Amino acid sequence: MNRTLVIAGSVVLFHAAALWALQAGLVARVIEVVVPVEILSQIIEPPKPKEPPPPPPPKSPPPPAQPVVKRTAPTLPPPPMPTAIADPTPAPNAPTGVTTPQPPPPPIAAPVAAAPAPPALPPAPPAPAKVELPSSDADYLQNPSPAYPPQSRRLGEQGKVLVRVLIGVDGTAQKAEIRQSSGFDRLDKAALDTVQRWRYVPGKRGGVAEAMWFTVPINFVLE
């Protein structure tokens, strides 16, 4: 029994010592791992910003250029020219000239004045536009003959009536009036009614239709 208790106590002590050694070793490793991290965090610092380089010293202006003075050689006065001495004695073989009188210059004719230009003629007036009078004789108009009043026929009334008609651009009678009477009211009225019902070819001026007055003769003659 004592031996067994000694062996059991030894095993328990061994396990207790091993457990203590294991815990002590783990704590040491934890301290070794944590401490360097703290030291590194204290050593690492952010880089300092670079200071800008100092500005270059101002350049001194160049020295002004000295003017170059050119020295010119002194000019000497020209040498005196030889003077000619007149000799009054003529040369023996010198030719003698004969002067002849020159004819007088011809008289200068007076300038002839230019004839005045004829006065400009006034521009010719434009030609008048061609006028075409209205007409009532065209075949395509198919105007009926004036009706002879029966009572005038019985009474033997006859004569010529001139009716003045205003014909529009559409060829219709716009207005009509008696220019010359036949002497009988019935004949004048029949002529006036007839020309107001007729169709006409409108008058033209320069090829353009225009309203114009036109005189239409109406003859009432008994056969």
Asked if residue 211 belongs to a domain, the reply is yes
Asked if residue 123 belongs to a domain, the reply is no
Q: What is the mean pLDDT of the chain?
A: 75
CA-closest candidate to residue 190, choices 206, 178, 172, 175: 178
Residue 23, domain extent:
1-43
Tally of domains in the chain: 2
> The tokens of 197 are what?
């019902």
Q: Is residue 74 pLDDT above 70, yes or no?
A: no
> The tokens of 190 are what?
């029949």
Asked if residue 99 belongs to a domain, the reply is no
Q: Is residue 146 pLDDT above 80, yes or no?
A: yes
- The identity of residue 137, as a single letter, is D
Q: Contact at 8 Å (CB) between 163 and 195? A: yes
Please report the pLDDT score of residue 102 as a whole number. Answer: 63
- Using CA atoms, how far apart are residues 206 and 132, in angstroms rounded to an integer? 8
Asked if residue 202 belongs to a domain, the reply is yes
Rg (CA), the chain: 75
Asked if residue 12 belongs to a domain, the reply is yes
Asked if residue 113 belongs to a domain, the reply is no
Asked if residue 53 belongs to a domain, the reply is no
Asked if residue 11 belongs to a domain, the reply is yes
pTM score above 0.75: no
pLDDT in tens, 22-44: 776 654 554 454 444 444 444 45
Give buried/exposed letters for 104-138 (b at 16+ CB in 10 A, else e): eeeeeeeeeeeeeeeeeeeeeeeeeeeeeebebee
Domain containing residue 178: CATH number: 3.30.2420.10
Q: Is residue 107 pLDDT above 50, yes or no?
A: yes
pLDDT in tens, 116-130: 777 777 887 888 888
